Amino acid sequence: MAQPNLNKMRTAIGGLLGAALLAVSLAAPAAAQDSGQVYQPTIWIDPDGCEHWVMDDGAEGFMTPNLQRNGDPVCHRAEICGVMPTDQLFATDRYEIDANGRATLENFFRSANAFGFMIYGHTDARASDEYNMTLSQNRANAVAAVAQGIGARVVDIRGFGERRPRADNTTVEGLQQNRRVEVYCLR
């Protein structure tokens, strides 16, 4: 008894959804053509270097971030204050930092004159995406641990694997440039 009722309900809901979709698909093109007062924004760039749409409509102001379709903000990252080539910090596939590397990093974090740091690991495109996500996260964690070891404030740590290359992964130089830990200074 319960089953047929449920099916009926499904059919009814399906019908309603269909009608709603039809209404939307009929209404949308007309609405897009009819309305649409021109609101021309400009770009405001925040102290981190990221863009925001901004409009002054007389007595009101409006602001919203300029995002790519994937949700990444559009930024001119002048405040990437350190790009550590990982070849100098880590052996291939490893994420331990030796005494020399530690000293270099400590020196960097001490002299950066920043309120806090955001630390992002990246790899080249060799090995699997999943492997590289883990490796870059471990390397970012290792660099962050050095910062925290001298009392620096670490605001964000993340590994992006091979997903955000800086350079071409088909050349030796490009691969090398992509193996890196980036440090963003928050001031």
**Site residues, other proteins (CB under 8 A):** 37-48, 50, 52, 54-65, 67, 71-73, 75, 77, 115-116, 118, 120, 153, 155-156, 158, 160, 164, 184, 186
Considering beta carbons, is residue 98 or 156 the nearer one to other proteins? Answer: 156
Question: Residue 34 Cβ, how far from other proteins at the closest point, in Å?
Answer: 17
Helix axes 99-111, 129-149, angle to 10 degrees: 70
CB 127 within 8 A of CB 92: no
Considering beta carbons, is residue 101 or 121 the nearer one to other proteins? Answer: 121
Considering beta carbons, is residue 101 or 178 the nearer one to other proteins? Answer: 178
CB 50 within 8 A of CB 73: yes
Cβ neighbours, 10 Å, residue 44: 12
Question: Residue 57 Cβ, how far from other proteins at the closest point, in Å?
Answer: 6
The helix/strand/coil state of 114 is coil
Considering beta carbons, is residue 54 or 102 the nearer one to other proteins? Answer: 54
Question: Residue 9 Cβ, how far from other proteins at the closest point, in Å?
Answer: 39
Residue among 97, 142, 96 at smallest CA distance from 121: 142
Question: Residue 58 Cβ, how far from other proteins at the closest point, in Å?
Answer: 5
Helices (H), 112-128: none
